[in-house]
Amino acid sequence: MIRTLENPSQAAWRKRRVLLLNATYEPLTALSARRAIVLLICDKADAVHHNAEGPVVHSAGASIALPSVIRLRNYVRVPYRARVPMTRAALMHRDRYRCAYCGGKAETIDHVIPRSRGGAHSWENCVASCAPCNHRKADKMLSELGWTLHHPMVAPKGPHWRLLSTTADLDPVWLQYLGEGAA
């Protein structure tokens, strides 16, 4: 049984995510803290990057500091997926949480060619947008407004994008394991 000596500031340890790397240091996914501790206790994974400010999990016979990154001891074959799934978290990360129209802080997703005019819900037609720009654009085309995009609309590539499409909160320590496209 895993338990902690919790005070209110340490109670959030269960909500923390831990980056799981394959035996080859390829990023696989972000795990819950509980699942990461189980992998460490069962000797299926090793801690790669320790979190100095992180909580310590206590059991009857051991104490384990919750790491930021763990690595599997045995290689796991990952099936090939041709395309990264488009999620809100991944799209916001691709656009660096900036509005594609004005460069402000993005809050919503906008279809450049509106769905009402036959636009697809795809990487090549969706951008991050601030609420005022999204409201002003409505169902108009960019040419009708005289607007331009600040960055290209391309589908991201690489294994780290699979991870980014599933999580919105990134630990800065993870960036060194996710590659240059993740920053």
Q: What is the CATH number of the domain that holds 114?
A: 1.10.30.50
Sorting pLDDT into bands at 50, 70 and 90, what band is 4? very low
pTM: 0.58
Indicate whether 17 and 74 sit together in one domain.
yes
Q: Is residue 154 part of a domain?
A: no
Per-residue pLDDT tens over the stretch 59-116: 788 788 889 899 999 999 977 766 778 888 889 888 989 999 999 999 999 999 999 9
Q: Is residue 109 part of a domain?
A: yes
* Number of structural domains the chain divides into: 2
Indicate whether 21 and 60 sit together in one domain.
yes
Q: Is residue 66 part of a domain?
A: yes
User: Which of 123, 120, 89, 85 is closest to 106 using CA atoms?
Assistant: 89
Pairing label, strands 56-58, 17-21: unpaired
